Structure 1
Amino acid sequence: MTSKVFVVGVGMTKFEKPETRDWQYWDMAKEAGTAALADAGIPYDLVEQVPVGYCYQASTAGQRAVYELGLSGVPVYNVNNNCATGSTALMMARQFVAGGLNDCVLALGFEKMTKGALGAGSSGGDFATSPVARHYGVMAAKHGFEMTPPTAQIFGNAAREHMERYGTTAEQLAGVGAKNHGHSANNPNAQFQDVYTVEEILAARTIHAPLTKLQCSPTSDGAAAAVVVSERFVREHGLEDRAVEIVGQAMTTDTGESFSSGSCIDVVGKPMSRAAAHAVYEESGLGIEDVDVIELHDCFSINELLTYEALGMCGEGESGKLIGDGATTYGGRWVVNPSGGLISKGHPLGATGLAQAAELVWQLRGEAGPRQVEGARVGLAHNIGLGGAAVVTLLRRPAG
């Protein structure tokens, strides 16, 4: 892709516990989409295509949601890529623009979920027919299968392996939760804004050891959106002060490496994340040393540590030390999940990847208020879904 692509408007709803607010998915989509268009200062009539991400709603729910923004008849694409759905919609929008098909695309993601833990897949169902049955089979062969929430179980077993292999401690895992809950205290859009100590997180109810409730992302309702445009569109509409460039983006899916080791560390997506990050660094000419702020997929605390290693922030097995040294919070080398991350901001599957992009756009524009990362110029988003897909996006605020 040679054409430059920019995000010029972002928006999101507050992420909330399911059934907190009396709204439908199209209501939340309208709120996020309208906010993104207002942020860009453009009308919906200029939008040429709309990829819409969600996992729990019925087919063509994307159209039903978009109709709340306007009835212009433009193409609407319904996207479902498990927890990486929102970033997949964003990637489609970028491809439409970079490929010269469109000058203005709206990427939209939403989810109206139900209370309780996620099941075998994004839509539940039995394991025999689940798209992730192979992944859980790898886990069961090594660790057995217990009567705990399956997603917490597979990530919890990845945490056990990391602890056994590298000496990672329960305190380091809890430190991820303490950091992200602390960050969310400054985010009015976060589902939770409570601050916890490491000791309080360790004392919380165990979901699947070593993971406690405060180290696990909740089910959430919410929506997010981004207006993605060409360089020509930026120039013609005078949007230079709003524009943040997508300088690299890649999606990877499972390869043989995900399953060959029999390790939950690999089967939950670390090889995918590493490959996507490498592709983005190659495309952009930038590396992790150039990044200031990161929004990554901390569905469980262990996945934040695994992602540090996959992104090249540290060596294999050294991620726990980054937490202990304060390297991934304010005053450290990077600020990771200033929004509160999935653990505290919330995790409405279809919206998560776009909410990450929204946070980074605000950070790179200097509009993040009390959670602003000082001097942030380059941001990285990482969004992953079992089954599997990993999307890494690198954004940069143009100089001047």
Structure 2
Amino acid sequence: MTQKIVVAGVGMIPFKKPGASETYPVMGAQAVRLALADARVGYESIEQAYASYIYGDSICGQRVLYDVGMTGIPIINVNNNCSSGSTALYLARQAIASGEVDIVLAVGFEQMNPGALGSNFADRPNPTERFMHEVDALLGGKDGIPPALRIFGGGGLEHMRRFGTPMETFAKIRAKASRHAANNPMSVFRKIVTPEEVMADQVVWPGVMTRLMACPPTCGAAAVVLCSEAYAKKHGLDTRVWIAAQALTTDGAETFQSGDMRDLAGYSMSRAAANKVYEAAGISAEDVDVVELHDCFAHNELMTYEALGLCPEGGAQKFVDDGDNTYGGRFVVNPSGGLLSKGHPIGATGLAQCTELVQQLRGNAQERQVSGARVALQHNVGIGGAAVVTMYRN
């Protein structure tokens, strides 16, 4: 990057179960106001805005932002499946890096319904139909198991078959998430659970997954203000945290050709994005202090350890058993509690991850604070597909 792009302000609201939240315009506007206040700028300063969501009609971004201000700026609506929030962040960063603008807002929100994710358009081809065809070819029919669970559970099953990973490892990941979330007032679930309780929960795929190993549908919103370093210095804004590198990748040919369920769950495109970020930043995984990654299922968290280079391929079980994914280990992964405990309001998720990491790098994450955090890594993935990896520094 030719200039530093600063994260000047972040804001999010507590995530809630479907039916317990405000409507998406209220949630989105609240998050925007919090981010603007954190950045110490008014909405009239914002030159562009990117709004991310997947469950909503067209122009929901305008509906949210018009309640904050009507200044005539470009508002771009972003839908990139579960990586929508990070894609909005990526576009906001690009707009500043291009020199087109100096200060940009990204906001994500989601007002979700209970139950497994599904398509709203049954009268046309589903965009993930090639994925599901390959999943069925590799796994056989799994009647009654929702598509997302088949993809990510199948990726976990692939890891189990290749490396002998026991189901208990996924339970340990879920229990770790609950311990972290207990210190996060923004999380939906703050009750600590043990690996034994996770294993004893309702079975949704025998030998592969229990209900607690999957993230819940959630409602919520988060927002981020980015600006150039020059703008921040000119206006006296906080310059402590900046984006050191960022990459967005989509599926390569291996997704449908490798015969590896992990690739259908985004493993290869996540690894490619991470490698681009490490190269661009001149920093390796070993230098990272804190990570927020996309744990929509405990199985995906385990696969992502390896995709991001936090441990060797096939080494995730040892990584978990050694406690290298939590406080006192090599990395602190998902100090927020992650999607498993904090929740996953899809359009907001990537921006909530950013919010957590900025708080960590500023040193104001309170009980969740990772001591001496200077380098943070964010991973957000959407099937179909897009993976966004972002490195922040202080």
TM-score if structure 2 supplies the norm length? 0.98
The aligned residue for residue 227 of structure 1 is 225
The aligned residue for residue 186 of structure 1 is 183
Report SS of the residue matched to 2:354.
Answer: helix
Inter-partner Cα distance in structure 2 for 1:131 and 1:76: 25
Q: Residues 124, 149 of structure 1: CA spacing in aligned structure 2 closer, same or farther, 3 A cutoff?
A: farther
**Counterpart check, 1:389 vs 2:365:** no
Report SS of the residue matched to 2:31.
Answer: helix
Query: Deviation at 1:175?
Result: 0.7
**Counterpart check, 1:349 vs 2:332:** no
Specify which of 327, 331, 334 is matched with residue 330 of structure 1. Answer: 327
The aligned residue for residue 109 of structure 1 is 108
Aligned 8 A contact 2:181 2:342 in 1: yes
5+ residue gaps, structure 1: none
Q: 1:170 is matched by which residue type in structure 2? A: M
Inter-partner Cα distance in structure 2 for 1:159 and 1:288: 22
The aligned residue for residue 131 of structure 2 is 135
> How do residues 1-400 of structure 1 correspond to structure 2 at under 5 angstroms?
1-21=1-21, 23-119=22-118, 123-126=119-122, 129-146=125-142, 147-209=144-206, 210-240=208-238, 243-397=240-394
> RMSD value over aligned CA atoms?
1.1
Inter-partner Cα distance in structure 2 for 1:72 and 1:338: 37
Query: Deviation at 1:73?
Result: 0.8
Q: Residues 127, 376 of structure 1: CA spacing in aligned structure 2 closer, same or farther, 3 A cutoff?
A: farther
Q: Deviations over 1:116-136 (max 9, x none)?
A: 1112xxx44449711111111
Aligned 8 A contact 1:60 1:78 in 2: yes
Report SS of the residue matched to 1:7.
Answer: strand
Inter-partner Cα distance in structure 1 for 2:189 and 2:387: 26
Inter-partner Cα distance in structure 2 for 1:169 and 1:348: 29
Task: List structure 1 segments (4+ residues) > 3 angstroms apart after TM superposition.
Answer: 123-128
- Count of matched residue pairs: 392
Q: Deviations over 1:3-56 (max 9, x none)?
A: 2101010001111111113x2111000110000000111111100000110000
Q: 2:204 is matched by which residue type in structure 1? A: I
Report SS of the residue matched to 2:165.
Answer: coil
Inter-partner Cα distance in structure 2 for 1:117 and 1:49: 34
Query: Deviation at 1:364?
Result: 0.2
Query: Deviation at 1:145?
Result: 2.3
Query: Deviation at 1:164?
Result: 1.0
Identity rate of aligned residues, in percent? Answer: 52
Report SS of the residue matched to 1:134.
Answer: helix
5+ residue gaps, structure 2: none
Inter-partner Cα distance in structure 1 for 2:7 and 2:205: 39
TM-score if structure 1 supplies the norm length? 0.96
Report SS of the residue matched to 1:193.
Answer: coil
